[in-house]
Structure 1
């Protein structure tokens, strides 16, 4: 059915203006004043902002980790995402050494099919590089539309890849048009520090942070950036948490390296002291990289404002406090890493960023939607409000106030990392390809309605890319 959205203020990454939006067959077909409404459902957005649907470039739904599986799967996780104003997620597909990449991709298709209520795509983990993997990569890119690969520099003996794997992945990505993502922490040194802490009887959650100092995130970020420059390739650093990593990204970009950075809401509003909560409550805040000393928050906000960090992911990776997080009650290394973030990503950035004058409305849209769409091959189908784009839209009340709580969230997990935080601004209605998923704060979507997205190749014409003197084949 045709829809026409009236009386709202449209906000994109570049513009803010009053206009009507006509939606037909899931697409935006007209934008303007006094559009013909004959036969169309009229949606009154008076007093609200109209954003392009949020794109969360960093989620872990139905993911095995540490002997358990994340609490939120593609159904509960995407429902929660929709309530938060996110209409597309890109989830991380894990691989196993020695197995064909296509096997792992099929597993993720099986996890998501008939469950997702919003659109979704996959990143692919690269844990080893050999001739079999190299031969599969063109098919992964061209047939599956998976154009981003993740390499872990941490989690030794679990996910961690060596520098040769990272470098060869960067070289291959440059050749085939993919974007390489890194979890940047020095896993070898972290392994030593965690073993030493346990030997000394230091088992509480706070030691998760103390054994993963910011210097190790900065070192790994800088190392990955230097390898990217050497390969003349492209890099996206996920979940940047501290000043050390921001400095390395800023340096790399100033040298002309094609390096991008993402941070997450938890690093903007929570800090290391949360891991010291009594009665093992600190385990709720165990994820990697860990929460940092509070002063890092202002560095991250400034990096978002100045453009040295370009996206906001959630790193959604939820585990129940009771029955999952408490697996590490006597050993912090056994606490499943991750938190429930997906639902509150937009509200926190709007409330703490736009409302407090740290970023502009247009920057908010760029950080939560447009930049991810461009980096990950979804623009202009996703990530903006323009004629021909998918009608993925968020009708957002900028003045609504609420208190974040597990009692009212839509995730399946038994706690909320931002419990008690008062935020201003929340989605009222959310549409995916012109159909309501959330209408007047009520879920009206259908599991399985979300579509898998084959993404375009990375745009190698980035303004940061420059010719290098060394060519590596």
Structure 2
């Protein structure tokens, strides 16, 4: 059945205007007014914004880490994402050294099969570069549509790769049309600082932050950016948390390097003091990079406003406080890293960003959806409201005031990192390719309806656009 969304205010990364949307065969077929309503389902969006569905470029669903597995899988995680106004997630396939890359990809296909309620795609971790790995990458891109590769510069003896691996991945990505992503922290230095702290009997959660100082993030970010320039390649720095990293990204971009930066809502509104909460409550806020001193928040907001940072991911990786986070009682290094963020990503940016005048409404759409779609080969099918695009649409009430709480969230985890925070703005209705997933704040979707999306190569949208202009 065709659908008509009427009386709403459409907001894209470039425009804000009043119009109605006609949806047919999973796509936006027409944008205009006075459509015939015969045989159509009409959705009244009066008083609401109509956004393109959010895209979360950074999730870890059902991810093994630290002897346990993150609580939200592709069913609960995508349901929570949808409630928060996200219609596409890109998750990370973790690889094992010495094993074919296709094994990791198949593992993630198995995890996600018949579970997701919204569309999804994968990034692929690169932990080593040898002839076998490099020989597989063309088919990863062409057959699987995986066009982004994650290199960890941290988690020594677990995920961390060396600089040669990073550099060879950058060189290969340039040749093949991939985008290299880095977790930028100096894992060797952090390993030394963690061991030193534990030897001195410093075991509380706060030492997770104190042994991962911002200098270690800034140094790794700068190193990755310099290697990107040397390789004449492209880089996306995930979960930027501090001034030191922002400065390195800005410097690289000023040199003309193709470097992009993502931050996360937790770094915009929470700070290092949360790790000092008594009774081991600080463990709820252990993730990497750690929360920083409060003054970094305005640096990050300004970086989003002026374009030094371009996107917002969640870094969703939820672990229960009871039974998972408490594996690290008496040893902060054993606390599973990660938090439940996926559901509140969009609303926090709207409430703290748009409503408080830190960013514009159009920037909000760009940061949560459009720029991500362009960088990761999803645009223009996703990331915008235009004729021919997938009908991934969010109807959002900008006036509702609510309090974030584990009592009302839809994640499968026993706490909320933003517990008690008051926000303005709420997702009312969500459509994924024209089908309701959330309707009037109620879940009406079905596990398995979400599709795996093969993505285009890095820069494909820009290349196509330049061809049209010539």
TM-score range, shorter chain: over 0.9
Q: Secondary structure at the match of 1:143?
A: helix
The CA deviation string for residues 326-351 of structure 1, in whole angstroms up to 9 with x for no partner, is 00011000000000000000000000
The CA deviation string for residues 290-348 of structure 1, in whole angstroms up to 9 with x for no partner, is 00000000000000000000000000000000000000011000000000000000000
Matched residue, 1:116: 116
Matched residue, 2:42: 42
Shift, 1:451, TM fit: 0.1
Aligned 1:426-437 pairs, distance under 5 A: 426-437=426-437
Q: Secondary structure at the match of 1:37?
A: coil
Q: Secondary structure at the match of 1:246?
A: helix
1:424 to 2:427 alignment: no
TM-score by length of 1: 0.97
- Does the 8 Å contact 1:70/1:318 carry over to 2? yes
The ranges of structure 1 where at least 4 consecutive aligned residues each deviate by more than 2 angstroms after the TM superposition are: 460-463
Shift, 1:36, TM fit: 2.1
Matched residue, 2:267: 267
- Cα distance in 2 for partners of 1:107, 1:438 equals 29
1:208 to 2:208 alignment: yes
Q: Secondary structure at the match of 1:362?
A: helix
Instruction: State how many pairs are aligned.
Output: 463
Matched residue, 1:98: 98
- Does the 8 Å contact 1:258/1:462 carry over to 2? no
Matched residue, 1:441: 441
Shift, 1:210, TM fit: 0.2
Matched residue, 1:140: 140
- Cα distance in 2 for partners of 1:446, 1:378 equals 23
- Does the 8 Å contact 1:93/1:124 carry over to 2? yes
TM-score by length of 2: 0.98
Matched residue, 2:393: 393
Q: Secondary structure at the match of 2:416?
A: coil
- Cα distance in 1 for partners of 2:363, 2:113 equals 33
- Does the 8 Å contact 1:120/1:452 carry over to 2? yes
1:192 to 2:165 alignment: no
Matched residue, 2:178: 178
Matched residue, 1:81: 81
- Cα distance in 2 for partners of 1:401, 1:82 equals 19
Shift, 1:460, TM fit: 6.9
Matched residue, 1:469: none
1:249 to 2:249 alignment: yes
The CA deviation string for residues 231-259 of structure 1, in whole angstroms up to 9 with x for no partner, is 00000000000000000000000000000
Which structure 2 segments of 5+ residues have no match? 464-470
- Cα distance in 2 for partners of 1:255, 1:460 equals 23
Shift, 1:37, TM fit: 1.9
Matched residue, 1:411: 411
Q: Name the stretch that deviates more: 371-380 or 454-463.
A: 454-463
Which structure 1 segments of 5+ residues have no match? 464-473
Q: Secondary structure at the match of 2:191?
A: helix
Shift, 1:269, TM fit: 0.1
Shift, 1:386, TM fit: 0.3
